Amino acid sequence: MTSPADVAPSSAGAGVGEAERYQVIIVGAGLSGMYQLHRLRQLGRSARVYEAGDGVGGTWYWNRYPGARFDSESWTYGFSFSDELLQEWSWNEHFAPQPETLKYCNYVADKFDLRRDITFRARVASAAYDEDANEWEIGLGDGRRARSRFLITAIGPLSAPTLPAIPGLEDFQGEAYHTGRWPHELVRFEGKRVAVIGTGATGVQTITEVAKTAAHLTVFQRTPNWCAPLRNSPIDPDTQKRIKASYPEIFARCRDSFGCFIHAADPRNALEVSPQEREAFYEKLYNEPGFAFWMGNFRDVLIDRAANDTISAFMRGKIRQRVRDPALAEKLIPTNHGFGTRRVPLESGYYEVYNRPNVRLVDLRQTPIERITPHGIATSAAAYQFDMIIYATGFDAITGAFDRIDIRGRAGQRLKEKWADGPRTYLGLQSAGFPNMLTLVGPHNAATFCNIPRCIEQNVDWVTLLLRYMGEKGFTRVEASEAAEDAWTHHVHESAARLLLIQIESWMTGVNRNVPGRHKRTFMAYAGGAPKYRERCDEVAAKGYEGFILS
C-alpha cells in the first residue's frame, strides 16, 4: 500500500522548476543500490538510482586493477534473495576475479531489468532536505536536479579513492593510475619500470600480478601488513553441483557467524591449548582458503594481547620462511600492530614476489617519499625513475563518499560537520536531523565487518519494511531521535572497546593520513557482530520502530 503523501513520478514538480520527482531516490548502483531498487519496485514504489559510473557494480565496476578479486568465497558473496538467480549463475572460481564479479553484477541488472531506473554518469553533488515539502532535493554535478520523499544512500564503504599526500603528483610525465579508478582499456607492464605505492589489500593483489610481467617493479611500503594465503582454486563440476544444492545451508552458516562469512571462530582460547596443539591449529588454518585464518581462529586472538602474540609469532615465522633475503623479510614483518588488527590482505604468492630479481622494496619508514618528480619518485635517500606509477593508496573509507556530497538536513545542518569528530547514527541507518535519509552500509552498521552482500540484504530488507510500514500507517516522515542516536553511538564505541584493533590506526578506526581531518581515531563500524546487529534491528522494528520519530 502506498502512503497518501507519496508522490508519483513526473518530469516536473510544482514549484521546483525542472526537478524530476520520484518517491525514492537511491544514490549508487553497486550491490546495495541494485538490490534496494529491486525491493522498492516489488513494493510498488517509484525509485530512481543515480550512479556516477557508466555501469552497475560499484566496487567491481571501478576496481579493475590487475589481480583484483574476492576475499569472500564467491558462493557466499552473491545475492541470496532469488533461488532462480542462485541456480542460474555459476561461479568459476572459489574467489572470483573482478571481471567475473562485474559480469555477475551485469547479469543481475539484466535479469531484473534494473537499468531502466538507473541514471548513469550522474554524480550526486548535493542533497538538501526541504522541511516544508518534506522532500529531498538532490543536485547532480551537471546541474540537473531531482526530488523525492526518501533518499537512500548506497554510496559504498570503499568508493572514495584517495591519493597520497605527497607533493608533485601532477608533475609525473609517465603513466599514473589509482587502483580504484583503473582504466577500462588493457594496461601493459611489459618492458616498463613500474612503481606501486601502497601495500594494503589492493596493493598486495596488484604487486603480485604486476611483478609477473613488468621489466622492473619497485614497491613503496609505509606499513607492512600481515598477509595470509588466499588459496584460490577453480570450482569443478561436482563442487558446483554441491554448492548449488546447499545454498540454504551456506547462507544459514553465514547468518550465524560474526561477520556473515562461512568461517566461524573456534570456541577455544589460544592459550588454553598446548603450544604444539596451537601451532598445529595455526598450520592447519594457514592451509585453508579465504579468511579462515582471520575469522576461523581462536576466539580470543583479536581481543587478548597474549593470544594475539602467538599468532603474530607464527606469521613472522611464515614470512621468514617465504622470503629468501633475511633483511628483506624483516622489512615485510609488521612491527606496529598484531595480526588481524588491520584488514588482512589475502595473497597468492605475495611474499615470493620479493624473491624475484625484477622486484625491489623501498621501506618508507627508513627513507620517506619526498616528492613525485617528472620522471619518478624521490625519497630522502634516492631518486627513482619510472615509466608508470600505480597508487594503491585505498579509500577515504566509510564516511568518505558521504563527505563528497554536500548533504544538508533540517535547518541546513551539514552532515559533514555533524560527523566531523566521528559519525553519529542510529543503527548505522539514520542520523538525527536528516529525516527520511537512510544510509545502506553506512558508518556504525555491522556491514563493514561483514561479508558485505549478506549485510546489504539485511539493510535493504529492513529499510524496505520500514517504508512499507510507513505507507500502511500513513506516515510520511521518519527521523532517528537524538536519544536513540546517542545510545547507539555509545553502544558502537562500547562494542569495539575490547578489540585490539581499536588501539591501532587504520581505516577501520577512521584514520587516513592522506585525508585532511582524518588523523583522530574513532570507531566507524559496529563490532558486536552481524547476528546481534540483526537482532537489534528486528527488535526496533517489532516495537514499532522504537527510537525513530514517525509522523
Ligand X SMILES: Cc1cc2nc3c(=O)[nH]c(=O)nc-3n(C[C@H](O)[C@H](O)[C@H](O)COP(=O)(O)OP(=O)(O)OC[C@H]3O[C@@H](n4cnc5c(N)ncnc54)[C@H](O)[C@@H]3O)c2cc1C
Task: In whole angstroms, give the CA distance from residue 83 to residue 41.
Answer: 18
Note whether 128 binds ligand X by CB under 6 A.
no
Listed ranges 3-11, 27-35, 38-46, 281-289: which one lies at the site for ligand X (CB under 6 A): 27-35
Rounded to a whole number of angstroms, the minimum distance from the CB of residue 445 to ligand X is: 10
What CA–CA distance (Å, rounded) separates 248 from 80? Answer: 9
DSSP per-residue codes, 153-195: E---SS-SB-----TTGGG--SEEEEGGG--SS----BT-EEE
Candidates 48-56, 214-222, 224-232, 527-535; binding stretch for ligand X (CB under 6 A): 48-56
Say which residues have a Cβ less than 8 Å from residue 351's Cβ, sequence separation at least 6. 227, 318, 319, 322, 323, 332
Q: Which stretch binds ligand X (CB under 6 A): 18-26, 50-58, 333-341, 535-543?
A: 50-58
| Contact with ligand X (CB under 6 A) among 3, 21, 40, 58 | 58
> How many CB atoms within 10 Å of residue 113?
10
As given in the structure block, the three cell numbers for residue 501 are 584493533
Nearer to ligand X, 51 or 479 (CB): 51
Q: Looking at 37, 40, 45, 51, which residue binds ligand X (CB under 6 A)?
A: 51
Task: Select the residue interacting with ligand X from 28, 139, 161, 376 (CB under 6 A).
Answer: 28
The only residue of 156, 161, 442, 443 in contact with ligand X, by rule CB under 6 A: 156
Q: Looking at beta carbons only, is 124 or 537 nearer to ligand X?
A: 124
Contact 400, 162 (CB under 8 A): yes
Q: Is residue 123 close enough to count as binding ligand X by CB under 6 A?
A: yes
Phi and psi at 234, nearest 5°, equal -70, 155
Interface with ligand X, residue 150, by CB under 6 A: no
User: Per rule CB under 6 A, is residue 438 in the interface with ligand X?
Assistant: no
Beta carbons of 36 and 58 less than 8 angstroms apart: no
Segment interacting with ligand X (CB under 6 A) among 26-34, 80-88, 215-223, 360-368? 26-34
For residue 161, state whether it binds ligand X (rule: CB under 6 A). no
| Residue 383 phi, psi dihedral angles, 5° rounding | -110, 120
Cβ-count burial of 359 within 10 angstroms (0-12 exposed, 13-18 middle, 19+ buried)?
A: buried
Span of 65-73, 113-121, 186-194, 501-509 interacting with ligand X by CB under 6 A: 65-73
- Total of residues contacting ligand X (CB under 6 A): 36
For ligand X, the binding residues in 76-115 under the rule CB under 6 A are 77
Nearest-approach distance from CB 156 to ligand X, in angstroms? 2
8 Å CB contact between 13 and 147? yes
Q: How far apart are CA 442 and CA 402, in angstroms?
A: 9
The residue among 158 and 467 lying less far from ligand X, judged by its C-beta, is 158
Q: Does 524 bind ligand X (CB under 6 A)?
A: no
The answer to whether residue 489 forms part of the interface with ligand X (CB under 6 A) is no
The rounded distance, in Å, linking the Cα atoms of 196 and 364 is 12
Which of residues 441, 446, 496, 508 is near ligand X by CB under 6 A?
441
Enumerate residues 394-423 that contact ligand X by CB under 6 A: 401, 404-405
The single residue among 37, 108, 124, 230 that binds ligand X, judged by CB under 6 A, is: 124
Residues in a beta bridge with 480: 548
Q: Which residue has the cell 634516492?
A: 382
Name which position in 388, 452, 480, 500 contacts ligand X (CB under 6 A). 452
Contact flag: residue 257 with ligand X (CB under 6 A): no
State in angstroms the smallest separation of the CB of 439 from ligand X. 10
Picking from 485, 353, 468, the residue whose alpha carbon sits closest to that of residue 428 is: 485
| Cα–Cα distance measured from residue 415 to residue 409, given in angstroms and rounded to the nearest whole number | 7
The values of phi and psi at residue 471, to 5°, are: -60, -45
Residue 31 or 499 having the CB closest to ligand X: 31
Q: Which of residues 192-251 bind ligand X (CB under 6 A)?
A: 202
Contacts with ligand X in 264-283 (CB under 6 A)? none
Nearest to 530 by CA among 472, 455, 478: 455
Among 68, 243, 315, 515, binds ligand X (CB under 6 A): 68
- The reply on whether position 135 binds ligand X by CB under 6 A is no
Question: Which of residues 27 and 319 has its CB atom nearest to ligand X in the complex?
Answer: 27
Cα–Cα distance for residue pair 38/424, rounded to 1 Å: 29
Nearest to ligand X of 466, 530 (CB atom): 530
* Alpha-carbon 396 to chain mean position: 11
Q: Is 120 left (phi over 0), alpha (psi -120 to 50) or beta?
A: beta
Binder of ligand X out of 40, 108, 114, 154 (CB under 6 A): 154
Q: Contact positions toward ligand X, by CB under 6 A?
A: 27-33, 50-53, 58-59, 61, 63, 68, 70-72, 77, 123-124, 154-159, 202, 401, 404-405, 441, 451-452, 456
